[in-house]
A and B are shown apart, each in its own frame.
Chain A
Amino acid sequence: MMYEAPIREPLILGDKTNHQITEDVCRPIEGKANKYWWWAFGISVAMLLWWVLCVSITVGKGIGVWGLNNVVDWGWDITNFVWWVGIGHAGTLISAILLLFRQKWRLSINRAAEAMTIFAVICAASFLLTHTGRPWLDYILFPLPNQFGSLWVNFNSPLIWDTFAVSTYFSVSLVFWYTGLIPDFAVVRDRAKTKGYKRFYSLLSFGWVGSAKNWQRFEEVSLVLAGMSTPLVLSVHTIVSMDFATSIIPGWHTTIFPPYFVAGAIFSGFAMVQTLLIITRKVLGLEEYITTYHIDMMNRIILITGSIVGVAYITEFFIAWYSGVEYESYAFINRATGPYWWAYWSMMTCNVVTPQLFWFKKIRTSIMATFIISIFVNIGMWFERFVIIVTSLHRSYVPSEWGMYHPSWVEVGIFIGSLGLFFTCFLLFVRFFPVIAMSELKTITKVSGTKIRKEYKDMDEAHAHADAAHH
């Protein structure tokens, strides 16, 4: 059996048995939703309807209803796309990279984080599809012959890379998540009291029984999927960054973009995981599973990636000056002191200064402080994308091309509505799906519960005493 050093904090608090884990995780699915859930769901659905209205206006009238113009031809659409794709990264990172590194603290949080990934990528894709202006022709993005002849998609274009990257990422994350859910659906199926529930979860669980061969294959599949998803996580945001980096616009045309975007994505993704999980653990009463230790560990990742992002901002600025290219230097000075200075400094404050507070253990382990900082990071990362896109476009090489950009109410509506889409999906998820990967969590009850930790500690102390007496 596995042994973990007693100096580590337990991953599950309380003296939990496997049956209790099942009870605790299934409770929200089997019981009735409380009024907080209904309130949150009601507000989210209202926002979702607003999204439907604003998207319908966009599709009906064209993207002329947005605030874009000849100068700034990417605005909130691509800002939101990159922001949402970035948020999606934490889920796959937690389930893939941390699985490969055998980080057991991922176990209570991976399921919810993966769900977040799926919903965030759906939101991102909606911006990708609507920003073309003629979404009914979006099939041209896929490698299909043009309907008028033999013209094919251009694989040199970063936009076709995006199509491949986002669709591969989305579909692979989806099967990774779903395959992991199957054993847990089987738990709910076998506990179901009513016929309807039984039928519903039978359908979802694909007839899973947990035989030795099934588990053997399941573990191999999880491991190989994790191995493949790891470079996939890094490739998606690298490719998104190349949408910018392969152009010759000052402020975009930089080689630092791929690692900088990936770090930023993980940074914003973890911030969103914190925001969601702090609420989820409270509402569903899962404080013993998603402990301050988990929150602490995620805060450390936020601190690291936040610092990488901070270094990237400063490096960008330095290289803009050091390159001696006046257009490049101007782009950066204009970001900090030009008409969009407020966006730049909001970004700097939220992304560079705030996460540094996590050096203090007291703040890192405080639920309230984490919640507030995570929201700051979410806002800061949105501003980062806004700053990169809008401030680089609004001052081009020739002053006659200079202009400003103001979002229209439809654009703002689509953004707020996309939050509604995201939260509606997430609330339905916590209501009908097991929020914690029970089957995986049950593998560590024997080594990481509070009781067993104490036993280990006593055992180690007894050994130490015996050794001391011996010498």
Chain B
Amino acid sequence: MMSKMIFAIFSDEEVVLHQIPSLKSKGVRIKDVFSPFPIHGLDKALGLKRTRISICSFLYGMTGLSLAILMIWYMNISDWPMNIGGKPNYFFYKNVPAFVPVLFESTVLCAAHGMVITFYLRSKLLPGVTAFVPDARMTDDKIVMQVELKDENKEAEITALLINAGAEQVKEYGK
């Protein structure tokens, strides 16, 4: 059975940042925090792992570079070497200065697009996805903390903790 969720609404990001450790220590199960702007340090406070998306980007970039080398070598050196303006065209390493711009652009192309596509897929951001919006103000100026209640009897106690921590309002989804 899914446990109950309640949402605490805050106005100040510093309050949220400072209160997270004490709330956690008092047994409040913070599932997520939604904010209208990035809050630096929030990921650490919540215990989120560092994102590895930049490593992905590097790997995509290397793939792009390798594919470009393979493509250029096959097309211009192996399959159809052309003598244009007397430029060396039988060995890749001799011709490589002329290929640098294309190699660079292909690397960036694959690294950037690969990373962005990974970001969209991992974050489940796609056209047509319905947004989970517990409070419409969370994209405007409020910070919404999603709290999981394992034991529904403790709702009043946890609500009081959240209010004490500076929450303006504590509510259930859709209410």
B27 at the interface (CB under 8 A from A): no
**Cα-based distance from A218 to B48 in the complex (angstroms):** 14
A212 at the interface (CB under 8 A from B): yes
Number of cross-chain contacts by CB at 8 Å: 198
Contact A210 B105 (CB under 8 A): no
Contact A152 B80 (CB under 8 A): yes
A455 at the interface (CB under 8 A from B): no
Which stretch from A110-118, A157-165, A311-319, A367-375 is at the chain B interface?
Answer: A157-165
Residues of A within 8 A of B43 (CB): 212-213, 215-216
* Cβ 8 A contact of A175, one of B36, B57, B113, B123: B113
B160 at the interface (CB under 8 A from A): no
**Cα-based distance from A161 to B102 in the complex (angstroms):** 6
Contact A209 B112 (CB under 8 A): no
Main secondary structure of the interface of A (DSSP, over half): helix
Per-position contact with A for B124-140: 1 when CB-CB < 8 Å, else 0?
A: 11111111110011111
Contact B141 A18 (CB under 8 A): yes
Contact A216 B116 (CB under 8 A): no
Which residues in chain B, 97-131, are within 8 Å of chain A measured between CB atoms? 98-99, 101-102, 104-106, 108-109, 111-113, 115-116, 119-120, 122-131
Nearest residue (CB) in A for B130 is: A207
A168 at the interface (CB under 8 A from B): yes
What's the minimum C-beta distance from A19 to chain B, rounded to whole angstroms? 4
Contact A211 B112 (CB under 8 A): no
* Cβ 8 A contact of B104, one of A167, A204, A219, A235: A235
Nearest residue (CB) in A for B101 is: A161
Which residues in chain B, 38-64, are within 8 Å of chain A measured between CB atoms? 38-39, 42-43, 46, 48, 51, 53-54, 57
Nearest residue (CB) in B for A216 is: B43
Contact B39 A151 (CB under 8 A): no
Residues of B within 8 A of A11 (CB): none
Nearest residue (CB) in B for A186 is: B139
Residues of B within 8 A of A155 (CB): 72, 75-76, 98-99, 102
Residues of B within 8 A of A189 (CB): 131, 139
Nearest residue (CB) in A for B143 is: A210
**Which of B43, B85, B102 has the most chain A CB atoms inside 10 A of its CB?**
B102
Which residues in chain B, 76-93, are within 8 Å of chain A measured between CB atoms? 76, 79-80, 82, 84-85, 87, 89
Contact B139 A218 (CB under 8 A): no
**Cα-based distance from A152 to B122 in the complex (angstroms):** 37
**Cα-based distance from A215 to B125 in the complex (angstroms):** 12
Which residues in chain A, 391-424, are within 8 Å of chain B measured between CB atoms? none
**Cα-based distance from A155 to B69 in the complex (angstroms):** 11
Contact B139 A224 (CB under 8 A): no
Which residues in chain A, 316-343, are within 8 Å of chain B measured between CB atoms? none
What's the minimum C-beta distance from B120 to chain A, rounded to whole angstroms? 7
Assuming the A-B contacts A175-B116, A443-B38, are A208 and B131 also in contact, with contact meaning beta carbons closer than 8 angstroms in the complex? yes
Contact B115 A208 (CB under 8 A): no
**Cα-based distance from A217 to B39 in the complex (angstroms):** 12
Contact B119 A217 (CB under 8 A): yes
Residues of A within 8 A of B54 (CB): 220, 223-224
**Cα-based distance from A221 to B55 in the complex (angstroms):** 11
A33 at the interface (CB under 8 A from B): no
Residues of A within 8 A of B46 (CB): 212
Contact B122 A217 (CB under 8 A): yes
A225 at the interface (CB under 8 A from B): yes
What's the minimum C-beta distance from B72 to chain A, rounded to whole angstroms? 5
**Cα-based distance from A187 to B109 in the complex (angstroms):** 30
Nearest residue (CB) in B for A221 is: B119
Contact A203 B128 (CB under 8 A): yes
A143 at the interface (CB under 8 A from B): yes
B173 at the interface (CB under 8 A from A): no
B19 at the interface (CB under 8 A from A): no
B172 at the interface (CB under 8 A from A): no
* Given A171-B113, A187-B139, 9 further pairs, Cβ under 8 A: A18-B140, A152-B75, A155-B75, A167-B109, A168-B106, A172-B112, A209-B34, A215-B38, A216-B43
Interface set of A (CB-CB < 8 Å, partner B): 1, 17-19, 22, 143, 150-157, 160-161, 164-165, 167-168, 171-172, 175-176, 179, 182-183, 186-187, 189-191, 202-221, 223-225, 228-229, 231-232, 235, 239, 242, 438-440, 442-443
14 A-B contacts, Cβ less than 8 Å apart? A18-B37, A152-B75, A152-B80, A153-B75, A156-B95, A182-B125, A203-B128, A209-B139, A211-B33, A216-B51, A217-B51, A239-B101, A242-B101, A440-B37
